[in-house]
Structure 1
Amino acid sequence: MQFTLTLAAISALVASSAGHSMLAKPSPRGNTKWWGTCAAGAGCKGPCDSPKADSPFNSIYNPKTYLQRGQELEVEWKRLNHPGGFVRLAIVPFNQSDSWEAFNSNVLKYTCYETNCGPSDPSDSSFGYLNGPGSSPCTTTVTVPTNIPDNTAITLQWIWFGGGVYYAQPDTSFGEYYSCSDAIVSGGPYSDEKPVATFQGGDVTYPNSDVCKYWGSNKVGDCNFGDRYPTPVDGDLLSQSLEPCMRTPVTKGAPYGFDSGSSNSTDSSSAAPVSHSADGASSSSAAPQTDAGSADAPAPADSDSETESPSEPASDNVIPAPVYSSASEEPANDSTSVEAPAPSYSAVADYSVTESASKCIPRPTNLY
Structure 2
Amino acid sequence: MKLLSCPLAVVAAVCCSFPRSIEAHSWLVKPVSRDTGPRTTDGTIGCPKTNAGTPTPLSPGERIGVRYWRNNHLGGFIRWSLSPVGSETASNFDDNVFFYTCRESGPDCVPADGSTSRYAGDSSGDHTISCGDTITLPDWLDEGDYVLQWVWFGVGSSYGNIGWAEPQFVSCADITLTSAGSSSEPECPTFVGGDRVTKNENLGNDECFYFYTNSIESTQYKGSNEDYEQNYVFGKPSYVENCSGTRANSGNATMSPVTQSPVTTSPSSTAESPTATPTSTEYPPESTFDESSRGGCE
TM-score range relative to shorter protein: 0.5 to 0.7
The unaligned stretches of length 5 or more in structure 2 are: 1-9, 123-127, 243-255, 267-280, 286-297
Q: Structure 1 residues 75 and 37, CA, compared in 2 at 3 Å: closer, same or farther? A: same
Distance in 2 separating the partners of 1:163 and 1:86: 7
Taking structure 2 as the reference length, the TM-score comes to 0.67
Rg: which structure is higher? 1
Bigger helix fraction: 1
Taking structure 1 as the reference length, the TM-score comes to 0.55
Paired position in structure 2 for 1:133: 121
The unaligned stretches of length 5 or more in structure 1 are: 58-62, 226-243, 261-266, 285-306, 308-368
After superposition, the C-alpha distances for 1:201-257 in whole angstroms (9 at most, x for unaligned) are: 11111132311111121112x2x23xxxxxxxxxxxxxxxxxx53426211111003
Which one of the candidate residues 75, 86, 93 is aligned to 1:103?
93
Number of residues of Structure 1 aligned to a counterpart in Structure 2: 232
Distance in 2 separating the partners of 1:45 and 1:194: 26
Paired position in structure 2 for 1:22: 27
Residues 1-368 of structure 1 aligned to structure 2 (within 5 Å): 13=20, 16-30=21-35, 36-40=37-41, 46-50=45-49, 52=50, 54-55=51-52, 57=53, 63-97=54-88, 99-116=89-106, 117-123=109-115, 129-134=117-122, 135-150=128-143, 152-187=144-179, 190-191=181-182, 193-195=184-186, 196-207=188-199, 208-220=204-216, 222=217, 224-225=218-219, 244-247=220-223, 249-259=231-241, 269-276=258-265, 281=282
Matched position secondary structure for 1:270: coil
Matched position secondary structure for 2:91: helix
The answer to whether the 8 A contact 2:221-2:263 is kept is yes
The answer to whether the 8 A contact 2:55-2:173 is kept is no
Matched position secondary structure for 2:209: strand
Matched position secondary structure for 2:258: helix
Distance in 2 separating the partners of 1:112 and 1:7: 25
Q: Structure 1 residues 3 and 106, CA, compared in 2 at 3 Å: closer, same or farther? A: closer
The answer to whether the 8 A contact 1:38-1:49 is kept is yes
- Counting aligned pairs with the same residue, the percent is 27
Q: CA deviation at 1:268?
A: 5.6
The answer to whether the 8 A contact 1:163-1:214 is kept is yes
Matched position secondary structure for 2:237: coil
The residue identity in structure 1 corresponding to 2:34 is R
Q: Structure 1 residues 64 and 111, CA, compared in 2 at 3 Å: closer, same or farther? A: closer
After superposition, the C-alpha distances for 1:38-82 in whole angstroms (9 at most, x for unaligned) are: 123xx78542232x2x33x2xxxxx44211222212111121111
Q: CA deviation at 1:5?
A: 8.6
Distance in 2 separating the partners of 1:193 and 1:154: 18
